[in-house]
Amino acid sequence: MIGGLFIYNHKGEVLISRVYRDDIGRNAVDAFRVNVIHARQQVRSPVTNIARTSFFHVKRSNIWLAAVTKQNVNAAMVFEFLYKMCDVMTAYFGKISEENIKNNFVLIYELLDEILDFGYPQNSETGALKTFITQQGIKGQSQTKEEQSQITSQVTGQIGWRREGIKYRRNELFLDVLESVNLLMSPQGQVLSAHVSGRVVMKSYLSGMPECKFGMNDKIVIDKQGKGGTTEDTGKSDLGGGSSGKQSIAIDDCTFHQCVRLSKFDSERSISFIPPDGEYELMRYRTTKDIILPFRVIPLVREVGRTKLEVKVVIKSNFKPSLLAQKIEVRIPTPLNTSGVQVICMKGKAKYKASENAIVWKIKRMAGMKESQISAEIELLPTNDKKKWARPPISMNFEVPFAPSGLKVRYLKVFESKLNYSDHDVIKWVRYIGRSGIYETRC
């Protein structure tokens, strides 16, 4: 199991050092500093073995987190724990920065004592932790016996992510379907690989211990219902608008927050859960079939002699004309020996950024089924370098108000038997956002 956990700033100074196991000595702290942080190289493996000690490291802005062990630990678990640790710290004091860590070091030690015991991760849900570890010092002195046992049963219980007795005057929930669409296209316009990785993020402000059921246009469920002929769920509580697009989508794979009953999903493919309070990620999914690619990039690069390049890039939007894409940015890489660039674009603004070796073309808004073009002349300095320019792909960023995978939320039902509110009283909001992930076209 994890033998120790260290947090360093970018200079390699220790901000937090907590040792859990006897086999980890103080010299491990220095070994990591010298061999990894001070090496100042590109990290060539996230697991580094120094003198039979393994270091798992993760970097968040300028901060290094390193878990240390001398045993054959579950490596995936260690990384998951480090990410979780980051989440917990962010939930407590915001951004992970040197200042914030120094300001909260007592709190961090407290958290580390609680969520990692002898190197074994314990309950690390902020919802539960916040009931007894707070920034204003620990609660505990003034608690009644009932409160105490409520805390402990929650920390160790089946529903570790939610505490009892939550009350809201207005029961409300927000569902965000956030998708990032990834594309790799050949210069000829052939799709080399494309997939959507999506997340359903839920913000819930619900009283009591509500039982929720979530439904979407999952092909497997729809097909099953089509056969069975039951239409009970459809229509009435449809939140997605269901106006257009595909009836159902094929989901390659999905993973769920630990609140979702996985065995029920496995057997019935229904998604039921008691949600944590506030914001959390309900599920992640991945699709590869019938993806709507919001933009198409058509590059044309011509080398004119040894000192000049001509680049022409056309982008076409491929969605309903009534929808608007936002924050569009096209990044056209230029060779290292570029000396000057002239750009002409029909729409938006384009600039050559020498420090990034790229022409960056920005368009604020663009409606569907439109087309725009940029052309540029790149002057090159003559070099002796034999190696040809690697021609990195042209990448794109954008945001569109629909889900490129075609996913639609069909319903989210809330049941709370003990309190007197019903599914109809809950105000529900759904939003779809499609963003570019790695959206690249080779040129």
Q: Of the candidates 117, 114, 96, which has an alpha carbon nearest to the alpha carbon of residue 8?
A: 96
Q: Which residues contact 338 (CB under 8 A, 6 or more apart)?
A: 352, 354, 357, 378, 379, 380, 381
Question: What is the distance between the alpha carbons of residues 274 and 413, in angstroms, rounded to a whole number?
Answer: 11
Which residue's structure tokens are 């915001």?
A: 94
Question: What is the distance between the alpha carbons of residues 396 and 55, in angstroms, rounded to a whole number?
Answer: 36
Minimum distance from CB of 197 to other proteins (Å)?
5
Contact between residue 400 and residue 144 where contact means Cβ atoms under 8 Å apart: no
Minimum distance from CB of 185 to other proteins (Å)?
12
Judge whether 59 is annotated as a binding position: no
Judge whether 70 is annotated as a binding position: no
235-243, 289-297, 348-356, 434-442 -> range binding other proteins (CB under 8 A): 434-442
185 is an interface residue for other proteins by CB under 8 A: no
22 is an interface residue for other proteins by CB under 8 A: yes
11 is an interface residue for other proteins by CB under 8 A: no
What number of other Cβ atoms are within 10 A of residue 138's Cβ?
Answer: 10
39-47, 290-298, 302-310, 408-416 -> range binding other proteins (CB under 8 A): 39-47
Structure tokens at 229: 């002929």
338 is an interface residue for other proteins by CB under 8 A: no
Task: Output the CA angle 76-77-79, nearest 5 degrees.
Answer: 70
For residues 100 and 375, which CB has a smaller minimum distance to other proteins in the complex? 100
Q: Of the candidates 240, 227, 259, 5, which has an alpha carbon nearest to the alpha carbon of residue 115?
A: 5
For residues 264 and 364, which CB has a smaller minimum distance to other proteins in the complex? 264
For residues 265 and 421, which CB has a smaller minimum distance to other proteins in the complex? 265
* Contact pick of 32, 92, 256, 352 for other proteins (by CB under 8 A): 256
- Residue 243's Cβ-count burial label (10 Å; 0-12, 13-18, 19+) is exposed
440 is an interface residue for other proteins by CB under 8 A: yes
Judge whether 351 is annotated as a binding position: yes
* Contact pick of 8, 32, 55, 56 for other proteins (by CB under 8 A): 56
Residues 110-169 that bind other proteins (CB under 8 A): 110, 113, 117-118, 120-125, 132, 135-138, 140-141, 143, 145, 148-149, 151-153, 155-158, 160
Residues 200-229 that bind other proteins (CB under 8 A): none
Question: What is the distance between the alpha carbons of residues 227 and 206, in angstroms, rounded to a whole number?
Answer: 35
Structure tokens at 253: 């794979």
382 is an interface residue for other proteins by CB under 8 A: no
For residues 57 and 347, which CB has a smaller minimum distance to other proteins in the complex? 57
103-111, 230-238, 291-299, 344-352 -> range binding other proteins (CB under 8 A): 103-111
Residues 384-423 that bind other proteins (CB under 8 A): 386-388, 390-393, 395
10 is an interface residue for other proteins by CB under 8 A: no
Minimum distance from CB of 354 to other proteins (Å)?
18
Question: What is the distance between the alpha carbons of residues 234 and 224, in angstroms, rounded to a whole number?
Answer: 13
**What's 35's DSSP letter?**
I
Question: What is the distance between the alpha carbons of residues 192 and 386, in angstroms, rounded to a whole number?
Answer: 29
Contact between residue 182 and residue 196 where contact means Cβ atoms under 8 Å apart: yes
For residues 242 and 278, which CB has a smaller minimum distance to other proteins in the complex? 278
* Contact pick of 34, 99, 164, 321 for other proteins (by CB under 8 A): 99
Question: What is the distance between the alpha carbons of residues 429 and 173, in angstroms, rounded to a whole number?
Answer: 6
50 is an interface residue for other proteins by CB under 8 A: no
For residues 73 and 430, which CB has a smaller minimum distance to other proteins in the complex? 73
Question: What is the distance between the alpha carbons of residues 335 and 391, in angstroms, rounded to a whole number?
Answer: 8
For residues 150 and 237, which CB has a smaller minimum distance to other proteins in the complex? 150
Question: What is the distance between the alpha carbons of residues 410 and 216, in angstroms, rounded to a whole number?
Answer: 5
Question: What is the distance between the alpha carbons of residues 420 and 416, in angstroms, rounded to a whole number?
Answer: 8
Minimum distance from CB of 154 to other proteins (Å)?
9
- How many residues bind to other proteins according to rule CB under 8 A? 109
Judge whether 227 is annotated as a binding position: no
Q: Which residues contact 25 (CB under 8 A, 6 or more apart)?
A: none
76-84, 305-313, 347-355, 360-368 -> range binding other proteins (CB under 8 A): 76-84
Annotated binding site: 349, 351, 353, 362, 364
